[in-house]
A and B are shown apart, each in its own frame.
Chain A
Amino acid sequence: DVKVTQSSRYLVKRTGEKVFLECVQDMDHENMFWYRQDPGLGLRLIYFSYDVKMKEKGDIPEGYSVSREKKERFSLILESASTNQTSMYLCASSSPTSGRLDEQFFGPGTRLTVL
């Protein structure tokens, strides 16, 4: 089974701190995604990556950056955390070359609180 793991389930940070959220997948998937989940707004795409060192902006990239130095790892970076970035963050992966090419596999999420 595909497994997507996220470094923390809960995280509390202060305004202005630099925050790193890590995501690792074990199925050699090419695509990786970062979403934030807010009540009533569903999942909104922040950034995604098709390959190592490649990244594309999603719908809400402002205030975030990403890094993909290895195929299995995709990091989300909040350069200077703000209270409006308090949210649930979900990582996902998919593979256009697998038999389940359209399915995205999600990690359990990181609930980030910025004080």
Chain B
Amino acid sequence: GENVEQHPSTLSVQEGDSAVIKCTYSDSASNYFPWYKQELGKGPQLIIDIRSNVGEKKDQRIAVTLNKTAKHFSLHITETQPEDSAVYFCAATLNNAGNMLTFGGGTRLMVKP
């Protein structure tokens, strides 16, 4: 089955700096890679996703890149703000696998004002 590894497990940045979280996956057949953000006391919420037919996707201050050859993908947050502080999870799935997601271990991002 799929295995997703995520690094770092914790990340502390100054407000305004950029943050990068990296994930690797094992199954070359995986073709959908979402990122979820979990704020304190809440369930995870989808913030951005990418499919294997594109290499990069942006949505305002967040972007995701995908390298299929190396089987890794990354989340980039620019101009970080205190409200970006949360736990972030990457995931991978084969689209026709019934929407079953395999999650990484999570990254706790702390943005210091």
Interface residues of A (CB under 8 A from B): 4, 31, 35, 39-45, 48, 50, 56, 58-59, 90, 92, 94, 96, 101-104, 106-109
| B interface residue numbers (CB < 8 A to A) | 1, 4, 6, 9, 32, 34, 36, 41-46, 49, 89, 93, 95, 98-106
Q: Select which of B32, B41, B43, B95 is within 8 A of A106 by beta carbon.
A: B43
Q: Are A59 and B99 in contact (CB under 8 A)?
A: no
CB–CB A50/B106 < 8 A? no
Q: Which of A43, A50, A96, A107 sits near B103, CB closer than 8 Å?
A: A43
12 contacting pairs across A/B (C-beta < 8 A): A39-B106, A42-B6, A42-B89, A42-B105, A45-B100, A45-B101, A45-B102, A56-B98, A92-B43, A102-B32, A102-B49, A107-B43
Give the chain A neighbours of B99 by CB distance below 8 A: 31, 94, 96, 101-102, 104
Q: How far is the CA of A52 from the CA of B105 in the complex (A)?
A: 31
Min CB gap B80→A, angstroms = 22
Chain A residues positioned under 8 Å from B103 (CB to CB): 35, 42-44
Are B46 and A104 interface neighbours, CB within 8 A?
Answer: yes
B46 — which chain A residues lie within 8 A by C-beta?
Answer: 103-104
Q: Which residues of B contact A106 (CB under 8 A)?
A: 36, 43-45
Across-interface contacts of B102 in A (CB, < 8 A): 45, 59
Contact partners of A94 in chain B: CB under 8 A:
99
- Min CB distance B42 to A, Å, is 6
Interface centre among A56, A96, A103 (most CB of B within 10 A): A103
Chain A residues within 8 Å of B45, by CB: 106
**B104 to chain A: which residues have CB within 8 Å?**
42
Chain A residues contacting B32 (CB-CB under 8 Å) are 102
Instruction: Determine how close the nearest CB of chain A comes to the CB of B73; give it in whole angstroms.
Output: 15
Q: A42-B6, A43-B89, A102-B34 are in contact. Are A108 and B42 (CB under 8 A)?
A: yes
